[in-house]
Amino acid sequence: MSALLPPTVWADHRLEWGERTHVMGIVNVTPDSFSGDGLVIDTSSEENLVQRAILLAQKFVTEGATLIDVGGESTRPNAAPISAEREMARVIPVLRSLREKLPQEIILSIDTYKAEVAAAALDAGACMINDIWALRHDPAMAELAAERRVPVVLMANMRGYQKREIVSDVLRYLAGCIDHALTAGVAWEHIIVDPGIGFGTTPRENLTLLRRLGELRTLNRPILLGNSRKSTIGLVLGGLPVSERLEGTAASVALGIAQGADIVRVHDVHAMVRVVKMSDAIVRGTFTLPDS
């Protein structure tokens, strides 16, 4: 493992890097998530939706998640975009309730690329922005992140990008996004990077990124890995459906930690917390065995 990065500190929150791997639980307030875990269904009332989101997030926290990522728009390939108004109608009531119900130390992240949604989410209790376009889709997003002084996840999105060699492409893309964020006034210590597994990348490129994830350490920023239930896992394992990708996710999480992942964004928190604890004990040596 490389030298420890300084902690990310903001408001009442603090994320230490290198001593442990943080688990981020996914709460999809959508009807069309690729993973089949979206909480929105046509017959759901807003109250029912919020209650189910609270129960899911509370379950994740009980199981060991320290971050909860709330998203209101599916980002799967070919998903239809929705308006900011519709996205806010989904996520804002959920975030308000989660902030009231969850322990204050739990970090709520908003998964959006729209500044209008991000601003409303931060007002509702979110304290981190997870942007699949790395602050580049909405011109106002970088300024918002800088003004609110919150951490941002910059994800490499290769959709429409002219690729040559995937690891070099991702490094170049993320370096440019980091420069963009810094120029807008985002603090260096508030930047987290994500290789963007499955976003404009082929299965072979995804495997290459996972195998060489450690090369992202040259960016000197914490790494978030979001490979949970992705299609590459199903393909490698012989065409398994989303519901049967737990072991493949576990393998990629463990190997990702060995390569330097600092946060893992997952659907199956209970199982992945166990994977993380075992991986950290081996890779980071942070577990103390009881006297025999």
Q: Domain with 220 in it: what CATH number?
A: 3.20.20.20
Active site residue 230: yes
pLDDT digits over 127-185, tens only? 999 999 999 999 999 999 999 999 999 999 999 999 999 999 999 999 999 999 999 99
pLDDT band, very low/low/confident/very high, at 34 (cuts 50, 70, 90): very low
Angle at 116 between CA 261 and CA 228, to 5 degrees: 25
Active site residue 284: no
Spot the catalytic one: 230, 245, 274, 284.
Answer: 230
Residue 7 lies in a domain: no
Residue 61 lies in a domain: yes
Spot the catalytic one: 90, 114, 229, 265.
Answer: 265
Show the domain range for 180: 18-283
Residue 149 lies in a domain: yes
Q: Report which of residues 79 and 94 the model is more confident about.
A: 94
Given a cut of 60, whether residue 252 has pLDDT beyond it is yes
Residue 288 lies in a domain: no
Given a cut of 80, whether residue 39 has pLDDT beyond it is no
Residue 1 lies in a domain: no
Residue 250 lies in a domain: yes
DSSP state of 217: G
At 27 the pLDDT is 96
Number of domains the chain is built from: 1
Q: Please name which of 287, 282, 210 lies closest in space to residue 253, comparing C-alpha atoms.
A: 210
Q: Please name which of 159, 126, 158 lies closest in space to residue 145, comparing C-alpha atoms.
A: 126
The whole model's pTM is what?
Answer: 0.92
Residue 157 lies in a domain: yes
Three-class SS state of 55: helix
Mean pLDDT of all residues in 89-95 = 95
Residue 213 lies in a domain: yes
